[in-house]
Structure 1
Amino acid sequence: MANPLRAEVFRLYKNLLHLGREYPKGGDYFRDRLRASFLKNKGVADLQQIRELIGRGEYVCRELEALYYLRKYRAMKKRYYEE
């Protein structure tokens, strides 16, 4: 039986992989950690638990975006304002 959430999981993986390119420790580090976390949860078959894991992954996406925006804000502030 095919998993109805497979496309959503795949979309989440691709989105995280794209966001991980700018990760401070490097894209390779992020990609390895991402792959390990997805492989760890590979055997989950319960749809409710998969939805919870997808929610956690979307939370990580939002946190990464906030991290990147904060980094850009700090760089702009440093360039244009003297302390």
Structure 2
Amino acid sequence: RTMANPLRSEVVRLYKNLLYLGREYPKGGDYFRDRLRAAFAKNKSVQEPEKIKELIARGEFVSRELEALYYLRKYRAMKQRYYDDK
């Protein structure tokens, strides 16, 4: 139990970050939140620190992908606003 403790705060931080990013998700925040909750619940029983670190890395990858998606969407919207009216 004590082994997983230092990683627990990392998992909680990741969950909160993904939850925050999920508010802008194209299919809606509720859809994203439900999927996120299910994914975390599915791996709730994982005890090995290495496996937990692996799952955290996967979650961080997902959060970077979401950020990239949002930046791209914002960029496209700005580009359309300024260049498509010619």
* TM-score bracket, shorter-length normalisation: over 0.9
Mark the runs of 5 or more structure 2 residues left unpaired by the alignment.
Answer: none
Where does 1:35-54 land on structure 2 (aligned, <5 Å)? Answer: 35-54=37-56
Q: Which residue of 2 aligns with 1:15?
A: 17
Number of paired residues? 83
Q: Which amino acid letter does the alignment assign opposite residue 13 of structure 1?
A: Y
**1-structure distance, mates of 2:11, 2:81:** 39
Q: Which residue of 1 aligns with 2:75?
A: 73
Could you tell me the TM-score, scaled by structure 2's length? 0.93
Output one character per residue of 1:1-52: Cα deviation in whole Å (capped at 9) or x when no partner.
Answer: 2322000000000000000000000000000000000000001001000000
**1-structure distance, mates of 2:75, 2:17:** 22
**1-structure distance, mates of 2:13, 2:81:** 36
RMSD: 0.9
Mark the runs of 5 or more structure 1 residues left unpaired by the alignment.
Answer: none
Q: Percent identity?
A: 75
**2-structure distance, mates of 1:7, 1:73:** 33
Runs of 4+ in 1 over 2 A off after TM superposition: none
Could you tell me the TM-score, scaled by structure 1's length? 0.96
**1-structure distance, mates of 2:81, 2:12:** 39
